[in-house]
Structure 1
């Protein structure tokens, strides 16, 4: 049986693994400019997903003036459909302080269904970010 873990990143090596996952998904696969992909890293709380100790996903959240923003959810193509995204969202939500601030994100259109499972709802119209259709979602 496969073992899926999502760990809060504590070392430089783990952070490099997370960046490698994000680079592969966002820059190589989706064509996001590298300078847009890497921003606000030092003020974010990062997570790395491992399936049988293989890095397979990465994500982060950060506190903004609007609440807590979930960002950069990436799962390597060969690991999609293995509940990695679900595990990452659950781990991040579990880590966010319970202080009644809004929790929100900008979801790529094809990932909206994932976030609705956790109580997020679409707010407003679809928009483009880095050339990819997105929706703003807020946790109700």
Structure 2
């Protein structure tokens, strides 16, 4: 990956999660470098608009770190990226479920991609979350 793309990708994640949502945590957690991890992003004219990562867990794929630059919101860019991520997960592991931890206010948005809530609500970095699963097709 081009270092400049990685820099812009991490900048969007920091802008959204650390600055905007005031969730001071170590975004660089080592998981982006795990075997099988993939970073996806959308850009336009060199501007990185949205990003997410796909991780491999023992019995499932996991989508996380879904972030959209404030200037790119409401244009369907993150939805397109989520569709690409789900397709990629199914290509890599067609018989495995896909997991994610959604901020609670985004549960309905993730449901559009086939995810359903499972388990009890939890709080991470002072933000309410719900575990979600996209069952095996």
TM-superposed CA distance for 1:52, in Å, is: 4.7
Give the corresponding residue for 1:48. 41
Tell which deviates more after alignment, 23-32 or 96-105: 96-105
* Correspondence list, 1:81-100, <5 A: 81-96=74-89, 97-100=92-95
Distance in 2 separating the partners of 1:53 and 1:90: 22
1:120 aligns with 2:110: no
Q: 1:23 maps to which residue?
A: 14
**Counterpart contact for 1:14–1:48, Cα < 8 Å:** no
5+ unaligned residues in a row in structure 2: which ranges? none
Deviations, residues 88-112 of structure 1 (Å, cap 9, x unaligned): 1011112121431121100011211
Give the 3-state SS of the residue equivalent to 2:64 in structure 1. strand
Deviations 1:17-53 (A, max 9, x none): 1101001000101112241x22112022101211454
Greater alpha carbon shift after TM alignment, 92-101 vs 130-139? 92-101
Count of residue pairs brought into register by the alignment: 130
Cα 1:98–1:67 change in 2 (3 A) is: closer
CA contact 1:23–1:34 (8 Å) conserved in 2: no
Q: Cα RMSD over matched residues?
A: 1.4
Q: Distance in 2 between matches of 1:38 and 1:105?
A: 18
Q: 1:38 aligns with which of 7, 11, 28?
A: 28
2:8 partner SS: helix
Greater strand percent: which structure?
A: 1
TM-score (structure 2 length as normaliser): 0.87
Which consecutive residues of structure 1, in runs of 5 or more, have no partner in the other structure?
A: 1-9
Question: 2 CA distance for matches of 1:21 and 1:138?
Answer: 25
Which of 62, 66, 78 is residue 69 of structure 1 equivalent to?
62
